[in-house]
């Protein structure tokens, strides 16, 4: 019995010690492949709703901004048929924007949509400042607007943009160092 109490005590101490780690926001991730350097961040509402800043080594390290959003909504047809014109209205960081649905695909019990927010953007101080101005307490929020929201069971997402400027410059520098 004594050993069980000691083991329980150490398990309790260990789990309390790890708790703050789980409470922290996921860090930015930088991935590389043959053509791209990708800075990405997991969603705060749905972990798999990643936002990507995809730097193109073949295009002067200009980047695209897109995210994936998952839905299990019981839609009458596949999302790619619903979004024939490929455009979707978003509120991104408090600003209304028109984005494009790049693709949709069945995934698990629902569908995943890849939505482009911006394409072929050069990194600049103005871009960083614009994004920082749209933050609310380090969070970038996105809400699918208008009639499009009904096709998503959770039509909003937010990402922690803490250290955003530093991470953008880090990914951009990796891209420049690895240009083809």
pLDDT confidence band for 25 (50 / 70 / 90): low
pLDDT, tens digit, for every residue of 122-131?
Answer: 999 999 999 9
Give the pLDDT of residue 66: 95
Give the integer Cα–Cα distance in Å for 73 and 105: 14
Burial of 37-51, coded b for 16+ CB within 10 Å and e otherwise, reads bbbbbbbbebeebbb
pLDDT, tens digit, for every residue of 35-68?
Answer: 999 999 999 998 889 999 999 999 999 999 999 9
Locate the domains of the chain by residue range: 26-177
Per the structure block, which two tokens stand in for 110?
Answer: 């629902």
Q: What are the phi and psi torsion angles at 176 (to 5°)?
A: -60, -40
Nearest CA to 46 out of 64, 31, 68, 66 is that of 68
Higher-scoring residue by pLDDT: 170, 73: 170
pLDDT, tens digit, for every residue of 136-163?
Answer: 889 999 999 888 898 898 999 999 999 9
pLDDT confidence band for 69 (50 / 70 / 90): very high
Most distant CA pair in the chain, distance: 68
Nearest CA to 156 out of 42, 49, 64 is that of 49
């Amino acid at each position: 019995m004594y050993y069980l109490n000691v083991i329980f005590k150490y398990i309790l101490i260990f789990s309390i010690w790890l708790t703050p780690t789980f409470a922290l926001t996921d860090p930015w991730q930088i991935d590389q492949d043959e053509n791209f350097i990708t800075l990405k961040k997991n969603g705060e509402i749905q972990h798999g709703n990643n936002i990507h800043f995809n730097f193109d080594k073949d295009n002067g390290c200009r980047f695209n901004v897109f995210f994936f959003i998952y839905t299990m909504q019981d839609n009458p047809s596949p999302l790619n048929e619903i979004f024939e014109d490929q455009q979707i209205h978003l509120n991104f960081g408090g600003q209304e924007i028109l984005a494009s649905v790049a693709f949709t695909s069945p995934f698990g019990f629902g569908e995943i949509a890849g939505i482009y927010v911006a394409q072929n953007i050069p990194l600049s101080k103005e871009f960083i400042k614009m994004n920082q101005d749209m933050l609310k307490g380090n969070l970038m929020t996105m809400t699918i607007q208008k009639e499009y929201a009904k096709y998503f069971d959770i039509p909003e997402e937010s990402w922690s943009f803490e250290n955003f400027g530093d991470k953008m410059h880090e990914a951009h520098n990796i891209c420049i160092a690895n240009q083809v």
